[in-house]
A and B are shown apart, each in its own frame.
Chain A
Amino acid sequence: MASELSFEKPLIELRKKIEELKRFIDTEEIDFSDEIKELEKKAEKLEKEIYSSLTPWNKTQIARHPERPTTLQYIEHIFSDFIELHGDRQYGDDPAIVGGIAKFNGTPVTVIGHQKGRDTKENIRRNFGMPHPEGYRKALRLMYQADKFKRPIICFIDTAGAYPGVEAEERGQSEAIARNLREMASLKVPLICIVTGEGGSGGALALGIGNHIHMLENAIYSVISPEGAAALLWKDASMAEKAANTMKITSEDALEFGIIESIIPEPLGGAHKDIKLQSLEIKMAIEKSLKELQSLNEEQLVEQRYQKFRKIGKFISVL
């Protein structure tokens, strides 16, 4: 397995041993079934141990797993009748963000999300899910459209961040992100955000002004990538692990800070182990949010969203 993570190694090795033992029985006709049972119990225990004591850095690795399900895969499992819509009507179509219209349990919705590639070729085409300004502008265009036709909006967030390139600066990525933040705050429809993998900085936030925000258990949400933080704070990108463990980037942290409404559980080992089950969990979270938010009128929706972000921050008064 090319995509095994370093902290999973003991488990993978134990599993290999069990397999070998099983093969041995088939050929040698010696009864090892008790030993195998014992080992399988041990493996199960080890699995629980490993995945229940993941460090923020381990979670970062899972969030970035090459087999981590992407927005289009979730859309396929959660929605019906998805029609992808393209382009920002100003410059181009950014493949790092996908969006369109679909039905959610029969209700028309607008779905938007960062799109990483599922292989190297697609990753290159989609710029590894790192948007250019036209991506944010496409997203905003689709959100205005949703607002016009009174469709709830669901955003899937999974990006390492905005693309640090010359053209992105020339075309005003600051302005594009900033405008999304302001305009999303004014939308009169329910807006639900799911951080599915990496919530990287401004590039993530540009799709992130939701009435409700949910995070997958192993997803991360951070002001800067662990590598970026390490380079900035300690002038050493190889300190990324330390940065990840310092900067409070996990779903538990976000919940504690009052940034997200809920943590969506993942199958043992991560979302990629069972995309169907993961999609179902996400679907349940969207259902719950939607039900709650649909009871609010337009004005209440805007105010609820405002108050949600208004409260975020930690400071003291020395009066």
Chain B
Amino acid sequence: MLKNFFHKKKRYATIPSERSKKDIPEGLIVKCNKCHKITFAKELEKNYHVCPHCDHHLTVSAPDRVRMVLDDGNFFEYDTDLISTDPLNFEGYINKLEKDMEKTNLNEAVVTGEGTIGGYPVVIGVMDSRFRMGSMGSVVGEKITRAIEKALVKQYPFILFSASGGARMQEGILSLMQMAKTSAALAKLHEKGILFISVLTNPTTGGVSASFASLGDINIAEPNALIGFAGRRIIEQTIRQKLPDDFQTSEFLLKHGQLDMIVHRKDMRKTLIKLIDIHQVKGGM
């Protein structure tokens, strides 16, 4: 015990100087984008990518999220082969897609698949905001729809982690229609009585907020996530007023009756298992 205490203290004392900072290979330390304090990447990972200084929930990649939520080594990914086209011939779009593919090592802004959580089989989708802001184009819509259809056939609960700026502008009306497509698939799940848990993480806005992300039997948000339909700037321009700081946060939504609960990232897996467990037996009927 005492030894641990000293060990911790020693680590706390060795804040790297400007020079030694340069020597640290990239990716070894992470700066919190809220309190700007530095944490070792390893430590941050152990802490569920939550800043140990200010409790800010940092962006998590989809693969990291899958690892954090599902049982170890128990994930089978769907539809990794689907990639976007450029239906509007939009200047620079293909280039941006290629860059994001390289940056994230993903083919699109959502990872879908099946695995187990607390031993229960589930179908899961996780959006990745590092890829085109997690925006929904044809591929995102298609992958989520296919995942829902899988959950329908297998009768597994469906869990979706949203992290998205909304519909993808560069795919125009086709993006808008993905809202309809995914919601229609959820209608089937709804009718079959299959559980859908929607977890809204930072950010969940626009067309994603106004489709599947709001349609959970249970809607959960991470603390202090940005969640809303219209952009803050557009609202401010429309009403010509400054909006309060907490506008469109998880806490704001909870207060206005739009969420079931806010769950800290470290408690997310536990909470999901509890929820799935309680849905295994349908009210004893």
Residues of A participating in the B interface, judged by any CB pair closer than 8 Å = 162-166, 168-175, 177-179, 181-183, 185-186, 201-202, 205, 208-209, 221-224, 228-229, 232-233, 246-249, 253-254, 257, 259, 305-306, 309-310, 312-319
Interface string of B181-217 (1 = CB under 8 A from A): 1011111101100000000000000110111111100
Q: Is B16 an interface residue (CB 8 A)?
A: no
Add 10 more A-B contacts to A202-B207, A313-B177 (CB < 8 A).
A172-B258, A178-B210, A186-B191, A202-B210, A246-B90, A249-B173, A310-B184, A312-B174, A312-B178, A313-B181
**Beta-carbon contact of B87 and A205 below 8 Å:** no
Q: A205-B179, A309-B181, A313-B177 are in contact. Are A177 and B229 (CB under 8 A)?
A: yes
CA distance in complex: A185, B186 (Å): 9
Q: Ordered nearest first, which 8 A-B pairs have the shortest CB separation?
A: A313-B138, A164-B230, A181-B183, A185-B184, A178-B214, A185-B187, A174-B209, A177-B210
Instruction: Pick the residue among B176, B180, B209 that contacts A222 (CB under 8 A).
Output: B176
Instruction: Pick the residue among A182, A259, A316 that contacts B83 (CB under 8 A).
Output: A316
Interface string of B234-267 (1 = CB under 8 A from A): 1100110001000110000000111000000000
**Beta-carbon contact of B180 and A205 below 8 Å:** yes
B-chain residues with CB within 8 Å of residue A186 when the two chains form the complex: 187, 190-191
CA distance in complex: A167, B44 (Å): 38
CA distance in complex: A228, B235 (Å): 12
**Beta-carbon contact of B231 and A182 below 8 Å:** no
**Beta-carbon contact of B238 and A165 below 8 Å:** yes
**Beta-carbon contact of A309 and B256 below 8 Å:** no
Q: Is B54 an interface residue (CB 8 A)?
A: no
Tell me the minimal C-beta distance from B77 to chain A in angstroms: 13
CA distance in complex: A165, B248 (Å): 12
Instruction: Pick the residue among B138, B141, B180, B230 that contacts A162 (CB under 8 A).
Output: B230
**Beta-carbon contact of A173 and B210 below 8 Å:** yes
CA distance in complex: A318, B81 (Å): 5
B-chain residues with CB within 8 Å of residue A166 when the two chains form the complex: 235, 239, 243, 247
Tell me the minimal C-beta distance from A93 to chain B in angstroms: 20
**Beta-carbon contact of A181 and B180 below 8 Å:** yes
Q: Could you list 12 examples of A-B contacts with CB < 8 Å?
A: A169-B248, A179-B214, A201-B207, A223-B173, A223-B207, A259-B177, A306-B188, A314-B85, A314-B87, A316-B82, A318-B83, A318-B107
Tell me the minimal C-beta distance from A185 to chain B in angstroms: 4
Instruction: Pick the residue among B176, B215, B238 that contacts A164 (CB under 8 A).
Output: B238
Q: Is B142 an interface residue (CB 8 A)?
A: yes
**Beta-carbon contact of B211 and A181 below 8 Å:** yes
Q: A181-B179, A223-B173 are in contact. Are A171 and B256 (CB under 8 A)?
A: yes
For A180, the closest partner residue in chain B by CB is: B183
A-chain residues with CB within 8 Å of residue B186 when the two chains form the complex: 182
Interface string of B150-180 (1 = CB under 8 A from A): 0000000000000000010101111111111
A-chain residues with CB within 8 Å of residue B121 when the two chains form the complex: none
CA distance in complex: A173, B209 (Å): 9
A-chain residues with CB within 8 Å of residue B227 when the two chains form the complex: 174
**Beta-carbon contact of A247 and B172 below 8 Å:** yes
**Beta-carbon contact of B215 and A179 below 8 Å:** yes
CA distance in complex: A315, B183 (Å): 19
Tell me the minimal C-beta distance from A317 to chain B in angstroms: 5
